[in-house]
Amino acid sequence: MTTHKGECFCGSVRIEVTGAPEAMGYCHCLSCRSWSAAPVNAFALWKPENVKVTKESEFVGRFMKTNLNDRQFCMKTFTPGVHVNYAETVLRMTDGLPKLKDFPAAFGGSGEVVPE
């Protein structure tokens, strides 16, 4: 049986899923668009008994918007301080963070700040 391993963005939480997904596809609902901060959300669904948290399960949070929406996520997150490559954005954000045209000058970019 195939095993897939994954982890959250910060690497604190790790998971393993076994077997093939029950379904894979794209969702266009408002809930998924909001969750993923994207115009469409790709998904793969496994039966709960085929999903196992293998590291730091105490950092797994849960949000159930509906009985069919059981989203789990890492509660240990990073704190953003800047947007990079904002000149190419397709989604304007008014969050008060600096918006750089490309990259910070210290990383080879122009360091130019563009309007929110």
pLDDT digits (tens, 9 = 90+) for 77-87: 867 789 898 99
Name beta bridge partners: 3.
18
| Nearest Cα to Cα of residue 82 among 104, 106, 110, 107 | 104
pLDDT value for 51: 93
My answer on whether 91 and 36 are in the same domain is: no
pLDDT value for 52: 94
pLDDT value for 18: 96
- Cβ-proximal residues to 109 (8 Å cutoff; 6+ apart), any chain: 84, 100, 101, 102, 103
My answer on whether 27 and 60 are in the same domain is: yes
Point out the residues of the chain with pLDDT beneath 50.
Answer: none
My answer on whether 42 and 21 are in the same domain is: yes
pLDDT value for 78: 64
My answer on whether 29 and 66 are in the same domain is: yes
**Residue 77 has which token pair?**
């997150």
Number of domains in the chain: 2
**Residue 3 has which token pair?**
């095993």
My answer on whether 53 and 22 are in the same domain is: yes
Out of 74, 89, 106, a domain closes at: 74
My answer on whether 16 and 55 are in the same domain is: yes
Answering whether pTM is above 0.75, one says: no
∠ CA(52), CA(58), CA(60), 5° rounding? 65
My answer on whether 55 and 86 are in the same domain is: no
- Give the E-state strand segments of 1-116 in sequence order: 3-7, 14-18, 23-27, 41-45, 51-55, 60-66, 69-74
Q: 24: domain range?
A: 3-74
My answer on whether 19 and 70 are in the same domain is: yes
